[in-house]
Amino acid sequence: MCTYNGTWDTQSIDNSTRVHLYVEDDAHLMKHSGVDMMGAVQSEAMILPCQPTHPQIKVKLYRNGGGEVKLGKFVTFDPKVGLASYFGQFNVRV
């Protein structure tokens, strides 16, 4: 988060902005690692924090015991946030 000096309201778009910074690291391809189990709430998106450390890293989502899940209506990806899923259980591979 970048803000003007002396800014108290960091949510105000007039005084602050968010910056997403990539740091190339061959040893750590993801910002977070080690997530084994996650819970989900019905009718809410489940966010998988798969945030790559470099824009060329490809993130794919696989069903538990199944094939790759294609991005679309029920699964979206934003490198700043991760994967957002609206159904089911998945295993994540990089």
Per-residue pLDDT in tens (0 to 9) along the chain, 94 residues: 566 677 777 666 666 666 777 778 788 888 777 666 677 777 778 888 888 888 888 888 888 888 888 888 888 998 888 888 876 555 555 4
Q: What is residue 3's predicted lDDT score, i.e. its pLDDT?
A: 62
Tell me the whole-structure pTM to 2 decimals.
0.61
Contact yes or no for 30/53 (Cβ under 8 A): yes
- 24 Cβ contact partners less than 8 Å away, ≥ 6 residues apart: 53, 54
In one-letter notation, the amino acid at residue 83 is L
Q: How far apart are CA 56 and CA 94, in angstroms?
A: 12
